[in-house]
Amino acid sequence: MSDSSLIAKAEKMKTYSNAIWLDSIKNMQSWLETNLKGALSQQNASGKDVLTVFVVYDLPGRDCHALASNGELLANDNDWARYKSEYIDVIEGHLKTYKSQPVVLIVEPDSLANMVTNLESTPACRDSEKYYMDGHAYLIKKFGVLPHVAMYLDIGHAFWLGWDDNREKAGKVYAKVISSGSPGKVRGFTDNVANYTPWEDPTLSRGPETEWNPCPDEKRYLQAIHKDFKAAGISSVYFVCDTSRNGKKVDRKHPGEWCNQTGVGVGARPQASPVSGMDYLDAFYWIKPLGESDGTSDESAVRFDGYCGHETAMKPAPEAGQWFQKHFEQGLKNANPPL
């Protein structure tokens, strides 16, 4: 970057932390212990707790309803065994070693939301169902008994599960999943991970423009799903909202657009207990790093997803997870609040 104002904004961004994605066995091996060790060093030097946030993201058959972010493990028994022994068990070992510091785990984005809405329409999701459900039970039993670890299961976003029937079904699915992981405990849920839905959008209401969604922004979504999950018998219902890319209403023409949206802007800064009157909102946090692509726009690529070729998806875009400088710079320019 040569623009001095953008450089200054990027420097401000560096003063805030964001989540570390353990999106492959190799990346987990590279990033997990390194960051735990670094956090412990900071904690010992400062005398204050240093929190580290990781995204656990390598289920067999990952992202069954999309193509851009499919993972390394397939929906079969061999890769299920690898997920347990080479991924979850290794994470557990490191967490047990570094037990004097707080850790948050954001668990398997998009997976359970797919179980709510896409089992009937998407064969790949049906093929993955066993591994998604058993995988959550396994990791909750492993991580949920560690007193220094807080886990948040992913609940998609307002324009995925916001409708009344989806929220009611979600309550049953998530209650079953959490129960299956007993005696492990789950702190709560993450919303809007890697998405763009604004925290508040007073211009939208339940009507044709929102396909009659009663929860057309993340605030209304969490208010509604908090009630629904409590009614479903889930005892611990707290939320972390991803505000890394929802500061500005993006250009998408349909709220289902999710790939590299133009008009992106950094959202609210990471902050604990950010909203008065919502004591169940634990934090705003930057979970998806601004500047990491959602998926390639190259139609010839194996992982090309049609959404990444839509009109409001910025192009040309690299593969999911790779650096996308143009998208990063637009997010800095459109930051709300300004950087």
Indicate which residues carry an active-site annotation: 63, 110
In degrees, rounded to 5, the angle at the alpha carbon of residue 109 between the alpha carbons of residues 321 and 30 is 50
DSSP for 75-102 reads SSHHHHHHIIIIIIHHHHHHHHHS-SS-
Q: What is the DSSP letter of 292?
A: B
Q: Are 194 and 109 in contact (CB under 8 A)?
A: yes
Q: Are 214 and 162 in contact (CB under 8 A)?
A: yes
Exposed, middle or buried: residue 34 (CB in 10 Å: 0-12, 13-18, 19+)? exposed
Contact 220, 158 (CB under 8 A): yes
What DSSP letter does each residue of 40-61 carry, written as one string? HHHHHHHSS---EEEEE---TT
Closest of 97, 71, 189 to residue 136, by C-alpha: 189
Q: Listing from the earlier edge strand, what are the strands of the sheet with 238-242?
A: 20-22, 52-56, 103-107, 149-154, 188-191, 238-242, 281-285, 271-272
Size of the chain in residues: 339
Angle subtended at Cα 322 by Cα 319 and Cα 323, rounded to the nearest 5 degrees? 130
Cα–Cα dist 319/40, whole Å: 33
Alpha-carbon distance 105 to 143, whole Å? 9
**Helix (H/G/I), strand (E/B), else coil: 188:** strand
